[in-house]
Amino acid sequence: MDRISKDQVKHVAHLAKLDFSEEEIEHYGYQLDQMIHYAEKLNEIDTENVEATSHVLDVRNVLREDEARESLPREKALKNAPDQKDGQFKVPSVLE
C-alpha cells in the first residue's frame, strides 16, 4: 500500500458503515492501491489529437420537431367516454 494508508481504508470503511478486521484492511488497502495504479496508467496515454466527446455513441435527437397541429374534434374524443360533462371527461373524485 504505497498510496493508501490504513487510516484511509478505515475512514472509507467507516463512511460505508463497514467493520473490517486488520487483515481485511490490508487486503482492501492493497486492492485500492492497485485500482489507483491502474487509473494512473491513463495519464500515460497520448490524447493530443483525440477530439473531446461527451458520449461514446453517436447520440442525436430522433424526435420530430414540436409543431402545432390540429387535434381530434372534441365530439370524437368524447364519443366513447363512459361519462362526460360540459364537453370534458367526467371521472370519479379521488379526494374527499
pLDDT in tens, 49-81: 988 887 788 878 888 888 999 999 999 999 999
pLDDT in tens, 8-56: 999 999 999 999 999 999 999 999 999 999 999 988 999 899 888 877 8
| 6-44 CATH pick, 2.30.30, 1.10.1760, 1.10.40, 1.10.20 | 1.10.20
Burial classification of residue 64, based on how many CB atoms lie within 10 Å of its CB (0-12 exposed, 13-18 middle, 19 or more buried): exposed
d(CA 16, CA 29) in angstroms, rounded, equals 15
Cβ atoms of 49 and 59 closer than 8 Å: no
Instruction: Map out the domains of the chain as residue ranges.
Output: 6-44
